[in-house]
Amino acid sequence: MEKFVVEGQYSLNGTVEISGSKNSALPVMAAALLTEEECKIKNVPPLRDIIIMEDILNTLSVKTDFSPKNNVISIKADNISSVSDDGSLTGKIRASFLTAGSLLSRFGYAKISLPGGCSIGTRPIDLHLKGFAKLGAEVSKEFGSIELKAERLKGADIYLDFPSVGATENIIMAAALAEGATTLSNAAMEPEIADLCCFLNKMGAEISGAGTDTIKINGAKTLHGACHSVIPDRIEAGTFMLIGAACGAVTVKNVYPEHLLPVVSKLKELGAEVEIQGENISVKNTGKIKNADIKTLPYPGFPTDMQPQFMSLMTLGSGTGVINETIFENRFLQVGELNRMGADIKTEGSSAIIRGVDRLTGTRVKATDLRAGAALIISALCAEGTTEIEDIYHIERGYCNIDKKLNSIGARIGRL
C-alpha cells in the first residue's frame, strides 16, 4: 500500500489549480444513461472514483472514452445490454447507486447491488427508495441487491425527510423521463445539484428550482445528448485554503467563491487572512488561529466534507473549539490519529472538543477516509519532524495529485 512521507514545517507559498468536482462529475456521468445519444463531459477530475464509475458504466455495456490528460469523458448509452451489474464494482463506490434513477427512468428496471456503508456512517438509501416508490416503482431488496421495476414512472409530489444529496440527485434523474410533473420538497441545495440539473436541462429536461429546497421536474418523452463542463471542486478548494491558513499563503485558482462562503467565513472567524479576487481566493496564515465552534449542516450551512480539515487547523489554534457533526454519525475517525501527533481532542457523541496545543510532532498515521486523510496531510505539514501517512488510496479518491500540487508550492511530500 502506498504512503506519503511528509517533512513538516516548511512554509508554503503559491497558487494551486483546482480540479473539477468529483461530487458533480459522478451524478452527471449517471445522468448520461438517460439518453442513447453521446454526452461529452468536461473538467472531469482523473480520480479513482471516476475510473470506477466508468467501469460500472462499461459493465452495463455503455461506451465510454475518458482521456485523463484533458479531463474529458464521452459516454454513449445506446445499447445497454443488461440493466443490472454483477455487483462486483458497485460495492466499490457508493456513488454507483446513482445509476439507479436513470436506469429505472429509461428502462423501467434496474438491479443494483446494495451500496455498502463506509467508515463515516451506515449510509442508508431509504430516502432514495421512498422517492422511487412514490414515482410508482416496485422496490425489492434481496440477496444484497435492490431490484426496481416500473411500467412507466409517474410524476408525484415527494417530500424528503432529510435533504439528502444523493436521494435528491437520484429522484431528479428518475423523474426526468417520468410521465407528468414531480415536485421534490425539502430537496438538497448543494451546488452539485444545480450542476446536475443544468446538464439535464441541456439534454432537454424541464427542471426548475435547482439550488432551492423545492425542485420541479416536468417529465420528458426522451432526452438527447449534450456537452457540459462540471463546476470546480469546492471541497478540494476549501482544503487547499485551509492549508494556506495553516502553513503559509495559498491561492486557489478557478473556483466559484459563492460555493465557499461558509468556509471563507469560518476561516476569517479563526483569524486567517482571506482575499477573494474573481475566481481566485488567497488565504494567508497570520500566526494566530483563535479556535471557534463549528456545526456541520446541509448546504448552504457549513459543509461536513470540510469538518476534519478544520479540526486539524484548530489543533494548533489558541483556546478551545467545539465541532458538532450533525450529518454523519461517525465522522471523527481522524481524532485518534491527530491525538497521536500530540493534539488534544475529546469526543462526546456528535461533538468533538479541541483544545489548542503548541506543537504537533510527526509519527506514523493512517488515513481512514477521504477527508480524514486530508486532515492528516494538513497536520503533517504543520508537525515537527516526519509523518508517514498510510492508506493514501482514501485520499486519492478525492484529490488529484495532492502531493505534486503541494510540492509545487514548497511542501516536502514523498510517496513510497
Stretch that binds ligand EPZ, among 121-129, 248-256, 338-346, 353-361 (CB under 6 A): 121-129
Closest approach, Cβ 95 to ligand EPZ, in A, equals 4
Number of residues that bind ligand EPZ (CB under 6 A): 22
Distance CA 12, CA 410 (A): 5
Closest approach, Cβ 37 to ligand EPZ, in A, equals 25
- Pairing relationship of beta strands 138-142 and 109-113 according to DSSP bridges: unpaired
Binding of residue 134 to ligand EPZ (CB under 6 A): no
Query: Residue number with the shortest CB distance to ligand EPZ?
Result: 166
Chain centroid offset of residue 38 CA: 25
- Cβ atoms within 10 Å, residue 218: 15
Distance CA 258, CA 310 (A): 19
From residue 199, alpha-carbon distances to 227, 266, 328 in Å are 8, 31, 28
Binding of residue 402 to ligand EPZ (CB under 6 A): no
Closest approach, Cβ 356 to ligand EPZ, in A, equals 26
Closest approach, Cβ 236 to ligand EPZ, in A, equals 10
DSSP 206-229: EEE-BTBSEEEEE--S-----EEE
From residue 171, alpha-carbon distances to 206, 216, 254 in Å are 14, 11, 30
Binding of residue 83 to ligand EPZ (CB under 6 A): no
- Between the two ends of the chain, the Cα-to-Cα distance in Å is 9
Q: Which of residues 202-221 bind ligand EPZ (CB under 6 A)?
A: none
Strands (E), 77-209: 109-113, 138-142, 145-149, 157-159, 181-185, 206-208
Binding of residue 159 to ligand EPZ (CB under 6 A): no
Question: Hunting for cell 503541494 — which residue is that?
Answer: 406
Stretch that binds ligand EPZ, among 164-172, 222-230, 247-255, 360-368 (CB under 6 A): 164-172
Q: Which of 118, 197, 382, 400 is catalytic?
A: 118
Binding of residue 284 to ligand EPZ (CB under 6 A): no
Site string for ligand EPZ, 298-337 (x = CB under 6 A): ------xx---------------------xx---------
Q: Which of residues 3-32 bind ligand EPZ (CB under 6 A)?
A: 23, 26
User: Pick from 136, 166, 225, 373: which binds ligand EPZ (CB under 6 A)?
Assistant: 166
3-state secondary structure of 366: strand
Stretch that binds ligand EPZ, among 11-19, 157-165, 265-273, 408-416 (CB under 6 A): 157-165
User: Pick from 40, 48, 92, 123: which binds ligand EPZ (CB under 6 A)?
Assistant: 123
- Tell me whether residue 118 is one of the annotated catalytic residues: yes
Question: Hunting for cell 415536485 — which residue is that?
Answer: 183
Binding of residue 270 to ligand EPZ (CB under 6 A): no
Confirm if 411 and 19 have CB atoms less than 8 A apart: no
Binding of residue 95 to ligand EPZ (CB under 6 A): yes
Distance CA 11, CA 134 (A): 55
Q: List the catalytic residues.
A: 118
Instruction: Enumerate binding residues for ligand EPZ (CB under 6 A).
Output: 23, 26, 95, 121, 123-128, 162, 164-167, 304-305, 327-328, 370-371, 398
